[in-house]
Structure 1
Amino acid sequence: MAAAERFPGGVDVVVQLGQDFSAVRREMGLPADYPTDALAEVEQTVAEPLPTGTRVDATDLPLVTVDPPGAKDLDQAVLVRRRRRGYRIDYAIADVAAFVRPGGALDREARRRGQTLYLPDGNVPLHPTRLSEDAGSLLPDQVRAAVLWRIDLDPDGSPVRVDVRRALVRSVARLDYEGVQRGLEQDCAHPSIELLPRVGRLRREQAVQRGAIELGLPEQQVESDGSGGWRLALRPRLVVEEWNAEISLLTGMCAAEMMLESGIGVLRTVPDPDPEVVSGLRRSANQLGVHWPADQPPAPALAGLDPARPEALAVHVAATRLLRGAGYTAFGEGAPAKSGHAGIGASYAHVTAPLRRLVDRYGAEVCLAVAAGREVPDWASSALAELPSAMGGSDRVAAQVERACIAQAQAWSLADRVGEEFPATVLRVPNGVAGEVFVADPPIIARCAGDGLTEGQQVRVRLATADTHRRDVEFEVA
């Protein structure tokens, strides 16, 4: 489970045995089971043969999936090849619409949930696992229904031709990030993604040129220790994850362009930061000793920072204020008033994770219709206006669940260490008399009381509170 805050390091701390996150589930009102009528509907649709006549047979493409170890809800499968001038991306996305009857029990429940919620002791899935981890998942050596994107790139990595259609596909391998990283480092990568580093680097260069504001910070996680307990961990993001993400971002940008040109769709939007916010962040960076020229925009300034340095870490954390106001914008008659995503530096639409996110199913349907030159189906077009509210609500729940699980694990890990001292980095000082600090071992982010704190400062702190019932951890300057 990824946390909202991300920090460098690689420290694990084992949390005491016998703890679970049932209290979080109760407080958030998370569903424990899937409705029986929706489960019955899934079994019926899974048993029905796919309408092969309306799908391209692309089972000859040697697509592979690349996901975290153990993942079963496999939304995407990719193939990267050279073409005479440039590159070709074949990107298969699970076709969830093949199994969901518009207006049926499964459709209603999926709309209510909005997205899969990830907790350390088990997920709350958007769709029943019979669909999300079995019949609809792009598991290896299985013929699956997919929405197949084909994107041709020029030698610089810019798209020159985009096509999307329904297809039958068969993944030839299920890969994980660490294995792919090792394979690339040892020059024995799977042939289907040998060119992923080349295309990924080209797309990363273009992201900086577009002005994409990206915070390349590792994830704080709660994970199983393999013995029935939990541990806090900080996992740096592997470079192969960044390259793989670029394929998904590329597809989402192409989808957004299709929607904008046709005048119908739903975009993921983040407004450009206020110039005063950028100026304030630049002043803070320079005060911390991080050189940020007045004429340099945020994208290249942040891309050049090493978050392992304490002062750079503080700048990265402060930079989260540049990406406030995220939401969804639906439109059906012409271009919307808001269409940009500051974190990407372009217009963007969610279409690549339909097993885990509701809006992607609708976005894919819009793009399929646009590519085929036909009207968007009524079931999809009539629901667009409701999606911003549904997705916004589920995003808030997902963020609350993540914060609660991280807070619970932090309190568990420190419950018997009140009074101990730790070295820490000051991350934020919102009111001048108290701040937020990062303790590397164990990896904790929490409040800290004390006068004279400054962002980026190295301090020693004393653990004042570790309340497991209130999920509250607080330090004070030692």
Structure 2
Amino acid sequence: MPRRPIRLTGAAEAPPLRAALRELRATIGVGEDFPAAVLAEAEQAARAPRLPGSDETGIPFFTIDPPGSVDLDQAMHLTRREGGGFRVQYAIADVAAFVTPGGALDAEAHRRVQTLYFPDGKVPLHPPLLSEGAASLLPGQTAPALLWRIDLDAEGRAVTTDVHRALVRSRAGLDYAGAQHQIDAGTAEEPLALLKEIGALREALEVERGGISLNVPEQEVVQQDSTYALEYRAPLPAEAWNAQISLLTGMAAADLMVAYGTGILRTLPTAPDGAVARLRRSATALHIDWPHHVSYAQLVRSLDPHDGRHAAFLQECTTLLRGAGYTAFTGGVLPTPAVHAAVADEYTHCTAPLRRLVDRYAGELCLAAVAGQEPPPWVSEALEELPREMAEGSRRAGTAERGYVDIVEAAVLRDRVGEVFDAVVVDVKENEPSVGTVHLEDPAVVARVESDGAGLPLGERLRVRLTQADPVRAKVLFAPA
């Protein structure tokens, strides 16, 4: 997902902003349209996917996603186990049932690597006929899936893991607000009500092992008459509980791969001491109390994303997550590092194959591990090159994110050039101290600042003047006032 997700609300009649976003998509190099051969293969696959022998359509799965989502990778069903503990059944869309290795659809997925998200839409990894249709776990639709069955003890720790192919059918498609309302009102049926109980247990285990889940607010662009406003939307608790189910599965998948001796991990090195020290200065500037005996993980959990200062600081906390990547391994020789520093455990991506290429391969490796068999040749042959492909896809997604953030913020600020704002200097280039980044609380903007040669005061408050705001050039620039 993007580092700073931005969503347009009620801005359908915003031609300059829409035009600039279309231009950005064109420069990224991956078009929204699919070649004819890819679409033809997708149509054939949608009519005749490779179906599994196991039928699990009797399990009343449900999905929880942002409102309006139709590319549904995951469906879940949660129950209590006899004698204590819980059973998590997590169905993941089986993209391999629709994609022929070496075919046009497969080649296009390797070119695109991942779905690119923009404030006004997306450039999908697979044709919508599949990702929003036949392969999606839409309510009422029978579809092939990789069905994870993870049993937990009473404290939420995984005790057994299984994954196999099965036909599944979701009974309900919920959004986060609707799920949260049912849980809070006490009207949720047990499979949904258990999301809170299991999610809270998994969060407690995350604290125990030193993991970190950032509750980063989403920036939302709201059109107000002829102008725009940029505001923060704090995530709901149900979003964090839902994320814990995905994290649980990614950690279980990594455990299977490690025991199997072959796999691909999502890794993240520990942040250097200097990065934490820089973050401490930003906390001071934002008047966030961070005693030296309190760890970074403890501090993050104490923050309230509804608070403007905390929201600003949470945005900057993502800088400690830089350096994440994918590493393949064979022969039982694990990479260094093998652990994802924020998860504080071995971890892999396996729960979003409709939107991320690597997840299809991770799923196949886990199936092979459980069966005690060699992975399919198309998996083994691609494993060495997959980390490079994913790195290129991440670079492209980062370019898209930086571009649309600048475009949206320029649209919000375009009529305010010359105005002075209160800001905090949250980053300074080490080799060019006159260039850095400032964070405005109102409007919710993070943008570039350049002084006339003097060094910028990292972690301190600064009055800045807006000197440029051009949505067409995707340019926002401040200077010390």
- AA of the residue aligned to 1:327: G
C-alpha distance 436-6 of structure 1, shift in aligned 2 (>3 A): farther
Render the CA deviation track for 1:307-335: whole Å, top value 9, x for unaligned.
Answer: 56676556545533432211100012113
Q: Structure 1 residue 148 and structure 2 residue 157: aligned?
A: no
2:251 to 250, 253, 268: 253
Find the aligned partners of 2:12 and 2:458 in 1 and give their Cα distance. Answer: 29
Cα distance in 2 between the residues matched to 1:74 and 1:227: 34
Alpha carbons of 1:199 and 1:436: their partners in 2 closer, same or farther (altered >3 Å)?
same
Q: Name the SS for the 1:112 alignment partner.
A: helix
In the alignment, which residue of structure 1 is the partner of 2:404?
A: 405
Deviation at 1:163, TM superposition (A): 0.7
Counting only pairs closer than 5 Å after superposition, residues 252-271 of structure 1 correspond to structure 2 as 252-271=250-269
Question: Residues 407 and 398 (structure 1 numbering): CA distance in 2 closer, same or farther, change over 3 Å?
Answer: same
SS of the counterpart of 2:88?
Answer: strand
Query: Of 445, 467, 471, which aligns to 2:470?
Result: 467
Decide which moves more: 205-214 or 151-160.
Answer: 205-214
Q: Residues 383-408 of structure 1: CA distance to partner in whole angstroms, max 9, x if unpaired?
A: 11111011110111011111111211
Distance in 1 separating the partners of 2:225 and 2:141: 33
Name the residue aligned to 1:42: 42
Structure 2 residue aligned with 1:61: 59
SS at match of 1:195: helix
CA drift of 1:125 comes to 0.9
Give the TM-score, by structure 2 length: 0.90
1:326 match: 324
* Cα offset, 1:26, TM superposition: 2.1
1:43-442 paired onto structure 2 within 5 Å: 43-48=43-48, 50-53=50-53, 56-83=54-81, 84-222=83-221, 232-278=230-276, 281-282=279-280, 285=283, 290-294=288-292, 296-306=294-304, 315-338=313-336, 339-430=338-429, 433=434, 435-442=436-443
Unaligned runs of 5+ in 2: none
* Residue 237 to residue 477, structure 1, CA distance change in 2 (3 Å): same
Asked if the contact 1:14/1:232 (under 8 Å) is kept, the reply is no
The AA in structure 2 aligned to 1:69 is: P
Matching residue's letter, 1:246: Q
Identical pairs, percent: 47
CA displacement at 1:52 relative to structure 2: 4.2
Matches of 1:375 and 1:445, distance apart in 2 = 48
Deviations 1:419-443 (A, max 9, x none): 2233434433446555422233432
Are residues 147 and 14 of structure 1, via their aligned partners in 2, closer, same or farther at CA, if it must alter by over 3 Å? closer
Deviations 1:215-254 (A, max 9, x none): 322022457x599997644221111100000000000000
Q: What is the deviation of 1:414?
A: 1.8
* Corresponding residue of 2:15: 18
- State the Cα deviation string for residues 148-207 of structure 1 (Å, max 9, x = none): 001111111100011100011110000001111122221122442111111111111111
Q: Distance in 2 between matches of 1:52 and 1:321?
A: 43
The alpha-carbon distance between structure 1 residues 119 and 293, as it changes in their structure 2 partners (threshold 3 A), is closer
CA distance in 2 between partners of 1:291 and 1:235 (Å): 23
Change (3 A) 1:233 1:290: closer
Counterpart CA distance in 2 for 1:187 and 1:435 is 48
> Residues 74 and 11 of structure 1: is their aligned pair in 2 closer, same or farther, counting only changes over 3 Å?
closer
Give the Å deviation of 1:295.
5.0
Q: Cα–Cα, structure 1 residues 227 and 258, in superposed 2: closer, same or farther, change >3 Å?
A: farther
Task: Work out the number of aligned pairs and report it.
Answer: 472
2:27 corresponds to: 27
In structure 1, the residue corresponding to 2:149 is in which secondary structure? strand
**Helix, strand or coil for the counterpart of 2:182?**
helix
**CA positional deviation for 1:212:** 1.4
421-430 or 278-287: which moved more? 278-287
CA distance in 1, matches of 2:455, 2:5: 25
Q: Which secondary structure does the structure 1 equivalent of 2:15 belong to?
A: coil
* Aligned residues: CA RMSD: 2.9
* Equivalent-residue separation in structure 2 for 1:229 and 1:72 (angstroms): 30
SS at match of 1:149: strand
Contact 1:432 1:453 (C-alpha < 8 Å) held by counterparts: yes
| 1:170 to 1:317, Cα distance in 2 relative to 1, 3 A | closer
